[in-house]
Structure 1
């Protein structure tokens, strides 16, 4: 009898189809049964390095409905778990396109990044506090609104900061006094991180009933992954890195990336076909991972999802980098061309809202933007060779590798957003969602020159940054971020740019919210051409009767981005049934 090891995770959902990911403890037939309907799906598990996975396509769902489901392995029910205190997992489908003008509520996208499943052993950070993802699950379990989509924007696992229980399991396999020490070394050790993260009971239930999209960031592989050409050269010279990067990319493909794809994309994916056909898909995945690491153009981790008239573009800002100093770019040419094509697909008026997910913020505090631009110019030799070694050391030590540290790509992304926002039939909003920086804030660019002819309104453009979900930040860094938004900090940024002969950025921006510190989740709510956002922070509450720690989300900000729709027959919401 096969058992359920991990999952289920509800990943893709549209009007009548969904995908469900899981890991079993042996080869078997995995099946999703939808209660009260003929909808369902089944798939044979496939193997990677002794682990057995299934990604089941569920078909026959009705648009705009919410359907409970259960899972069997070789005919034996394994989900819901026996004696589970949680309600049934459900699949909420999008309404049919012709029903979008109905009375359903807003489409809610909850997002965040940087989640320690457990505090790393020996961590010197401030007290971490309750997990915002746990608190989000608790809100839903208590009858509150649950999001229609969950965007996890990086650092879902920490390969370089492991907890005490994980380190104990690593020590059973190898000597932790040898590289890579108490960090994970290979694919097998990566699986321990996902077990620790996704077997948390409340989080497990949440991921089984809310569709999710995921992107990696540096800690999913290693801190400051692909910071620079010299960083990459140094780490590739170590004896342990090859297994780490192959294990990291392979485990990301299995656990996170595969579920981002639609059933149609999965059906046309030759790697997925090869893995399912093999007795063990590990060799094919390792070969793919090695190619992807050596030549980013051979793999695309970015992807697009449309939810009615809401378009979500999730952009890989780690593996698609060009690191040669004289060609340095956040995205290679093919990746940037892809982003342009997806953002502009369908022409003017094609979408009401464009959402760009980037693990790294586009608009940073001006002082930090200025430091990163200055540093990038000095590393490229703008002030002579004597500055290069100092600047590279500073870049690594201070994590100077956001969009601002790739000025050519910062300008390209800014111009693309300006092009979308400045059209006569522009979306109501263009939102860039990000995390990484262990605090939350809202920033808005000043695109005055892009107002359309005749004085018509353009898109409301906003950078929404939310991090961490469960982590911390040293007090000195809190002060640094606050200074970064100050008038003095803005002046420092301009001064450094002048020193590097970098010129002014292509757009100015202002902070319109924050900074907020703590474990938190942000929600973007979209309804027709109306949009709003809110920030919720996790707070501890009285423990449950059995002594289990409990937490709740407290809303600290709720703000409108664009006006609610007027009852004139205009385009309606894209929300699933409630």
Structure 2
């Protein structure tokens, strides 16, 4: 009998269709069967590096319904698990909840980033605390609020920070005293990372019943992935990097990227078609990954999802970069053109625009100043000696957010300003991000302008906010907490301006303020969007007698100044 190795993961859902991803231990036909309904679907598995997968399209669902489902492999039921095991509680049935027709009703969208499945070996960080994703699973399984969709904004796995258990698995395959040491080396080791991250019973159930959208960040491959042209040149010269990169991109394509796409997009995807038709898609995917790394225009990892009258644009801020020092860009020209087209096309069709970026757009002003100063130094504004110093500092201090790509920062500001003007402007534009291991809300000032003289503040009628939520399960040293707080202070702003002036960097064309936070701990943000209203909530994971739970930290109506703070930061 074929067994289920990982999943099911409920990924794409619309009014009458869904996709369900599974990994099995052998070739078979996977089936999703919906109880009390004619809806369902089947798909044959396909193979990559000795692993077998299926992405089942479920059709015939009714709008606005909640439908329990089961997974069968070659006719034998494998999910729900027939026996969860000793000491493991039985969880509710996995369900597919379809949205109401025509975008009626509210959309509840939870998001966050940066999740260790287990504390890395030798970590010097503060105590990690409870997992916010596990706490959300506890809440949902116990009958509490369940989001309609979950956005995972990067660092779903940590290829470069592995746990003691993972290191033991790696040591059983190879000598971890040799490069890449206790980090993952190839596709097979990436599969073990995904098992560690997604096999915990509560989290596994949550991902089977809440649709998810995902995008990578650096740790999905390696810390500071694609920081600079010099960084890329140096790492490509190592003996181990090529296999790591190919394993990272191919596993991301299999475990995360495919589920972001609609059934229609999957049907038109030539790589997906070729892999399914091949007896073994390993070499096809490796060649595809190598080409994608060499030329970002080979593929588009960014994607668009529409949830009724809410439009999500998930931007690839890692693999689509231009790294040539005199032409640096967070998004290459083709990717920025795509982002503009998706944001500006048929604005009347959406009330809220969400731009998913693994990296924050609006940073604490001191940090923004440091990054723009550093970018100018690396570009040679103060000569070769300062440029060499700037490159060392950039790598040591992770100076590679939007502020480190000034042209792209301004292009995004101008796009948001353009979206926010006119009678068909949305009620809100929210830039959703993580990465920085704390949470905050930042907003352009009402009088802030872009280089074209247009505004991104409340004067346009559109509320523009940067919502940063990180981590779900990670930690941050105490000195960095102090640094992030200082970054918003008057002294921090002054320091940022002084450094930018020293580097001869141009001042940003808009100004912004922190309007919430900073908050530290393991946490998730939630947006509840109904019509043109938007409610922001944030919850922190805490240990409780019965396990872990989410406790409210913030509730704020984005269409007004009203706010309820439940706990301190």
Q: Could you tell me the TM-score, scaled by structure 1's length?
A: 0.94
* Structure 2 unmatched runs, 5+: 85-89, 562-569
* Structure 1 equivalent of residue 502 of structure 2: 499
Residue by residue over 1:164-216, the C-alpha shift from the partner in whole angstroms, topping out at 9 and shown as x without a partner, is 11111111110001000000000000000000000011100000000000000
What secondary structure does 1:562 align onto?
coil
* Structure 1 equivalent of residue 483 of structure 2: 480
* Structure 1 equivalent of residue 352 of structure 2: 353
* Structure 1 equivalent of residue 373 of structure 2: 374
* Structure 1 unmatched runs, 5+: 544-549, 565-578
Matched residue count: 550
Residue by residue over 1:117-161, the C-alpha shift from the partner in whole angstroms, topping out at 9 and shown as x without a partner, is 001111111000000000000011111111000000000000000
Q: Indicate yes or no: 2:539 matched with 1:542.
A: no
* Structure 2 equivalent of residue 199 of structure 1: 199
Of residues 127-136 and 442-451 in structure 1, the stretch that sits farther from structure 2 once superposed is 442-451
Contact 2:417 2:454 in 1 (8 A): no
* Structure 2 equivalent of residue 92 of structure 1: 97
What secondary structure does 2:403 align onto?
helix
Give the Cα–Cα distance (whole angstroms) in 1 for the partners of residues 10 and 424 of structure 2.
34
| CA shift for structure 1 position 484 | 0.1
* Structure 2 equivalent of residue 135 of structure 1: 135
What secondary structure does 1:511 align onto?
strand
* Structure 1 equivalent of residue 388 of structure 2: 389
Pairs within 5 Å for 1:306-321:
306-321=306-321
Give the Cα–Cα distance (whole angstroms) in 1 for the partners of residues 325 and 423 of structure 2.
38
Contact 2:446 2:459 in 1 (8 A): no
* Structure 1 equivalent of residue 255 of structure 2: 255
Q: Indicate yes or no: 2:474 matched with 1:471.
A: yes
Pairs within 5 Å for 1:164-179:
164-179=164-179
Residue by residue over 1:65-104, the C-alpha shift from the partner in whole angstroms, topping out at 9 and shown as x without a partner, is 110000100000000001340010000011111xx45xx4
| CA shift for structure 1 position 412 | 0.3
| CA shift for structure 1 position 380 | 0.2
* Structure 2 equivalent of residue 570 of structure 1: none
Q: Indicate yes or no: 2:322 matched with 1:322.
A: yes
What secondary structure does 2:204 align onto?
helix
* C-alpha RMSD of matched pairs (Å): 1.3
Contact 1:529 1:563 in 2 (8 A): no
Contact 1:380 1:388 in 2 (8 A): yes
Candidates 548, 552, 559, aligned match of 2:549: 552
| CA shift for structure 1 position 457 | 4.6
| CA shift for structure 1 position 163 | 0.6
Contact 1:3 1:78 in 2 (8 A): yes
* Structure 1 equivalent of residue 399 of structure 2: 400
Candidates 452, 457, 462, aligned match of 1:459: 462
Contact 1:447 1:507 in 2 (8 A): no
What secondary structure does 2:173 align onto?
coil
* Structure 1 equivalent of residue 408 of structure 2: 409
Higher relative contact order (CA 8 A, sep 6+): 1
Give the Cα–Cα distance (whole angstroms) in 2 for the partners of residues 240 and 154 of structure 1.
23
Residue by residue over 1:292-347, the C-alpha shift from the partner in whole angstroms, topping out at 9 and shown as x without a partner, is 11111111100000011100000000000000001100000000000000001114
* Structure 1 equivalent of residue 232 of structure 2: 232
Give the Cα–Cα distance (whole angstroms) in 1 for the partners of residues 454 and 283 of structure 2.
53
Pairs within 5 Å for 1:275-354:
275-347=275-347, 349-354=348-353
Of residues 50-59 and 76-85 in structure 1, the stretch that sits farther from structure 2 once superposed is 76-85
Give the Cα–Cα distance (whole angstroms) in 2 for the partners of residues 189 and 456 of structure 1.
51
Give the Cα–Cα distance (whole angstroms) in 1 for the partners of residues 298 and 83 of structure 2.
46
Contact 2:117 2:196 in 1 (8 A): yes
Contact 1:530 1:563 in 2 (8 A): no
Q: Could you tell me the TM-score, scaled by structure 2's length?
A: 0.95
Change over 3 Å in CA distance of 1:232–1:11 after alignment to 2:
same
Contact 1:30 1:45 in 2 (8 A): yes
| CA shift for structure 1 position 518 | 0.3
Give the Cα–Cα distance (whole angstroms) in 1 for the partners of residues 422 and 303 of structure 2.
24
Residue by residue over 1:421-449, the C-alpha shift from the partner in whole angstroms, topping out at 9 and shown as x without a partner, is 12232100000000000000000012535
* Structure 2 equivalent of residue 574 of structure 1: none
Give the Cα–Cα distance (whole angstroms) in 2 for the partners of residues 87 and 304 of structure 1.
31
